[in-house]
Chains A and B, each alone.
Chain A
Amino acid sequence: MIPRYQRVLFWVLAGASLLMALVLLHGCEQAREKLTRHRNETPLAAPVAAPSQTVRLALANDNDGSISLVEREIALPDETTARAHALLARLIAEYSYKDSAHPIESGPAVDDVFLLDLPLNPPNSAGSKTEADDKAAAALELSGSAEDSAAKGTGDLTAEPSVPGGQLAVVNLDGTFADHHPSGIGPETLTIESIIGTLYVNFPRIEEVRFLVDGRPRETLNGHADLLRTYPVVNTETKPAQEAH
């Protein structure tokens, strides 16, 4: 004969098990609905199969201070801005390899790339002239022609492009990348020249480049290379620096 207290305990435990099973099923159902709802709210873009293509990267070498062009087979998006962003991200990633001649810590380096048509006009240029416009025009006359200023690398953003359709690239670097970049005139200059050289050989419309760090102007990359000036996008491929012993 089974004691009464054991029968009561059995039914209590059986009821508790059933209750827990129901709660578990309900929780699973809620979680599934939540995931389904989120998936519906954030539709993903259809993946596009981008074929691999040959690009050229201007790679820096700390040992001899040179920039050399190398070819890589990588898949890039078609949209120009995304393409420039992906290319520069790949360039910096090359420097995080173990045997890199210009070692840089791995991690996100380029947050955004923006391409702006030259010449850059003030937002109110289409409207009536303001006093600021007159002052700017007078200042431009004092400093010579826009082309002269551009040729001297003075950072005149209103300079006419040398070819129709010229663009200014604004490269927004990651703050962590800048803070952890090897400090020194040589390594910082080589990184800047590497970016400029890569833009030059892959984007013929880009004529000038400016740099931001975390979306803001910053005086130097990490204490040395000037990030406030506008750099002309030119061929930076160089021979090894002159050395004497």
Chain B
Amino acid sequence: MLVAPATIALTIAAWALLGRAQPQHPPNPATPQPPAAPAIGQMNLNLVVLDPAHGGPDAGAILGSNVLEKDITMAMAVRLRAALGAAGFTVIATRDANSSDPLTQLSTDQRAAIANRTHAVACIVLHATNTGSGVHIYTSALSPSDPAEEADVDFPSPFAPVPWESAQAESVQQSLRLADDMRTALAAGNLPVAVGKASLRPLDNLMCPAVAVELAPLAATGGATPVTDAGYQQRVAVALAAALQAWRAHAVPPAPPAQVPQ
């Protein structure tokens, strides 16, 4: 397709003009500037944010005849919400109604803003695909932020501005540990699991320990189990709930040392 060179030149010029200011501000002016990432002790240890990806006019991938990714992510979110509720978690979902009304749909930036205000112990972005097998767990591809570098910043840590595009950088290490807990729990449930890194919205904009869980068909000798299979979805939901329970136990801040009576 032929593209007017002027369009591309204007785009590049716009990048050059906005490049300096871009990391300072979220893309959506309505999105509030996120505060600094909370330490584990500041998290709500019983709160999990679920983000069933896509929704409304954004159907996501087409996984078969009349099977849309947005429907699978919604079904998984419902199952995972029930499993987490049974484990004592409070769940906030960024998408409850799967209507086609665009007014009820949130952008990825708005979803990240909701999650960032909650200080949840974990944020789970749900996806589905027909590529590969089993469950794919992705963490952000951003480089972890270096605490030594942060110490050099003029502002004290609680007031330091966080670049929206790389808000997840400060939580990458925790996200990797969360992904490892999920890998262990899924493997214990005899579910094939692969772990990787990806640049994905809103994953890169989240300030909580965050992973993207992508459900793929379950390969087996008798034929693959599709992502629409309710039993398969339930097994994954139960394993993820167990992983989040283990993660909550890890995330509990250490108790202060008992004072020895003089």
Partner-B contacts on A (CB < 8 A): 62-63, 65, 111-112, 114, 116, 120-123, 132, 135-137, 139-140, 142-144, 148-149, 151-158, 170, 172, 174-176, 182-187, 189, 192, 210, 212, 214-217, 219-220, 222-226, 228-229, 231, 241-245
Contact A242 B195 (CB under 8 A): yes
Closest to B22 in A: A155
With known contacts A212-B11, A219-B201, A182–B131 Cβ distance under 8 A = yes
Partner-A contacts on B (CB < 8 A): 1, 3-4, 7-8, 11-13, 15-17, 19-24, 27, 54, 58, 60-62, 69, 108, 127, 129-132, 136, 138, 141-143, 145, 149, 153, 161, 163, 165-166, 169, 183-184, 186-187, 190, 192-201, 204, 212, 214, 216
Contact B131 A186 (CB under 8 A): yes
Contacts of A186 in B (CB 8 A): 129, 131-132, 136, 196, 198, 214
Contact A185 B20 (CB under 8 A): no
Contact B11 A241 (CB under 8 A): no
Apart from A135-B21, A183-B129, A185-B212, what are 10 other A-B pairs with CB-CB below 8 Å?
A136-B17, A136-B20, A143-B161, A149-B163, A170-B8, A192-B199, A212-B11, A215-B11, A229-B204, A243-B193
Contact B12 A170 (CB under 8 A): yes
Chain B nearest Cβ from A230, distance in angstroms: 9
Q: Which of B19, B21, B108, B145 gathers the greatest number of chain A CB atoms within 10 Å?
A: B19
23 A-B pairs with CB atoms under 8 Å apart are: A121-B16, A132-B17, A140-B20, A142-B24, A152-B166, A153-B142, A154-B166, A155-B23, A157-B16, A172-B3, A183-B60, A184-B127, A184-B132, A185-B127, A185-B136, A185-B198, A187-B129, A214-B1, A223-B58, A242-B195, A244-B187, A244-B192, A245-B187
